[in-house]
Amino acid sequence: MKVIKFGGTSLADGPQLEKVIAIIDADATRQVVTVSAPGKRFSGDTKVTDLLLQYAQAAINGDDTQAIVAEIAARYQAIATYFHVDSTAIMPKIIEQLQHLAKQHYPSFDYLYAAFAGHGELLNAQLIAFILQATGHNARFVSPKELGMQTTGAPRAATLAEISYQKMAWFTLASDEIIVVPGFFAYDEHGYMNTFKRGGSDITGAILARGLKATVYENFTDVSSIYAVSPKIVANPAPIAKMTYREMRELAYAGFAVFSDEAIVPVIKAGIPINVRNTNEPAAPGTLIVPENEIATTHAITGIASDDRFATLYLHRYLLNKEIGFTRRLLDILYRHGISYEHMPTGIDDLSIIFDKSLTSRAQFEAMIADIRTEIQPDILEWHTDYALIMVVGEGMQEMHGAVANIIEPLTEAGINISMVNQGASRISVMLGLPADQVDAAVKVIYEQVY
């Protein structure tokens, strides 16, 4: 059995869903179908998830929500209309669930946002199961709850409770049936809808692959390959035919938006290969992501990823490295404010902390900085919100001599100033930190150098 996941771009409208159904039909073992919410139909369009977040905001503000509900419903209606199905049997249910969202009580705004956002996938899975049935498939909608999936943690950045896998082992799939499972969300122990982080339908697919013991996890998107560098930065970059889990995890963390970094973890545990493929070119083999022992390294560097979602705090204080308990006091402040950090490179008198801006609000950061000023009293404190990281990743880097010099020298020649270099911990990557406005230029220079 294969688990297949279709991203928002693969489900944006009727013609896209038609391609998806052809892909399901082409292989009888593609029985577990995970779906995202309808994504962008064209550049500048708005994803249904983002429309739902607008709806959530309007509901919080007490604004009139009729127009936004109609806009969201129209996205589903257009898909139903394309397939000429009897939409009176499904659309009223979709509209009712949308309207019900604004009438419910939530423990906090975070729970409210999570519930609104997750409905993009919930309603799409219901609609797709309905269309599959109407077009002669033995298909049914299956909720994450029915499968035994249970979330834990923050409502909008949840993780799966480990107990879920025991429950999932009890789920039985008939030999000839197709199940359609909404991606991106599940319910917590109190029954509240929680979502994984944005892009989290990839995570659902990976959980299903592990929990239902798939032979492969096929992840269908809108590119025929994972490329050595983002096609948004370099035109026609080199495709990657095969890579390891840990290469993918590091690259995904640092900006390869094509696959979510957290989605690697469940499949690693089960050793299931991931195959990233293109809905618009289903015959292309795509990229295979496999365990470390299944790959013979062909080149030292597999990929170069970059992301500007970071901020950095720089602290300078003489004899900082001699002061016992300094780091602990600093981390206590972060802990008190509920802030997690990404990296903390240190020198003898200096320390930087790199944060992921998408995880923390501006107000939280400001309160944290105020406490650091009073409690730590650094000689210099700088806060930079436009910070980017580049990850140069490859299994072959472990044996490569002069890897860092090979990357840094051409950047220096190009006048690009790198403020942080970190190699070592993972042995398969070099991490560079730099101002966000220089990141694309730096990625191009590195790509030219290593490919």
Distance CA 368, CA 385 (A): 14
Q: How many residues bind ligand PHD (CB under 6 A)?
A: 15
Among 49, 164, 221, 302, binds ligand ADP (CB under 6 A): 221
| Site for ligand ADP contains 224 (CB under 6 A) | no
Q: In this chain, which of 3, 4, 9, 76 binds ligand ADP, going by CB under 6 A?
A: 9
In the list 111, 185, 192, 227, the residue contacting ligand ADP (rule: CB under 6 A) is: 227
- Between CA 300 and CA 52 the distance in angstroms is 43
Q: Looking at 15, 153, 231, 271, which residue binds ligand ADP (CB under 6 A)?
A: 231
Site for ligand PHD in 200-259 (CB under 6 A): 200-202
Residue 431 and residue 310 in contact, taking contact as beta carbons nearer than 8 Å: no
**232 vs 269, beta carbon nearer ligand ADP:** 232
- What phi, psi does 243 have (nearest 5°)? -150, 170
**For residues 148 and 266, which CB has a smaller minimum distance to ligand ADP in the complex?**
266
Query: One symbol per residue from 58 to 77: x for binding ligand ADP (CB under 6 A), - otherwise; what is it?
Result: --------------------
Residue 93: C-alpha distances to residues 70, 114, 184 (Å):
14, 20, 21
Query: Between helices 91-101 and 66-82, what is the axis angle to 10°?
Result: 150
In angstroms, what is the minimal distance from the CB of 238 to ligand ADP?
10
Which phi and psi (to 5°) does residue 179 adopt? -110, 140
184 scored as a contact of ligand PHD (CB under 6 A): yes
Nearer to ligand PHD, 114 or 351 (CB): 114
Residues 6+ apart with CB under 8 A from 230: 237, 255, 256, 257, 305, 306, 443
Minimum Å distance from CB 142 to ligand ADP? 21
Q: How far is the CB of 118 from ligand PHD (least distance, A)?
A: 9
Contact between residue 249 and residue 37 where contact means Cβ atoms under 8 Å apart: no
Q: Pick from ligand PHD, ligand ADP, none: which does 223 bind, CB < 5 to 8 A by kind?
A: ligand ADP
Is residue 309 part of the contact set for ligand PHD (CB under 6 A)?
A: no
**Which residue number places its CB atom closest to ligand ADP?**
7
Give the residue from 307, 314, 311 showing the smallest Cα distance to 340: 311
Is the sign of the CA dihedral 262, 268, 272, 275 positive or negative? Answer: positive
* Contact of 407 with 451, CB cutoff 8 Å: no
With CB under 6 A as the rule, give the number of residues binding ligand ADP: 18
State which of positions 107-146 bind ligand PHD (CB under 6 A): 120
| Interaction partner, residue 30 (ligand ADP, ligand PHD, none; CB < 5-8 Å by kind) | none
Map the footprint of ligand PHD across residues 406-425, applying CB under 6 A. Answer: none
Binding partner at 227 among ligand PHD, ligand ADP, none, C-beta below 5 to 8 Å by kind: ligand ADP
DSSP H helices in 153-258: 163-168, 201-211, 245-253
Q: Select the binding partner of residue 232 from ligand PHD, ligand ADP, none (C-beta < 5 to 8 A, by kind).
A: ligand ADP
Contact status: 256 vs ligand ADP (CB under 6 A): yes
Q: Of 50, 54, 76, whose CA–CA distance to 67 is shortest? A: 54
End-to-end CA distance of the chain: 37
CB 371 to ligand ADP: min, Å? 37
By CB under 6 A, the residues from 159 to 218 that bind ligand ADP are: 199
CA 386, CA 93: separation in Å to the nearest integer?
A: 44
What are residue 154's phi and psi, to 5 degrees?
-70, 140
Radius of gyration, CA atoms only, the chain: 23
Cβ atoms 442, 416 nearer than 8 A: yes
Phi, psi of 432 (to 5 degrees): -120, 140
| Total residue length of the chain | 451
Query: Which of these ranges, 19-27, 51-59, 226-234, 414-422, lies near ligand ADP under the rule CB under 6 A?
Result: 226-234
| Residue nearest to ligand PHD as judged by C-beta position | 8
- Footprint on this chain of ligand ADP (rule: CB under 6 A): 7-10, 36, 39, 199, 221-223, 226-227, 230-232, 256-258
- Footprint on this chain of ligand PHD (rule: CB under 6 A): 7-8, 36-37, 39, 47, 49, 120, 183-184, 198-202
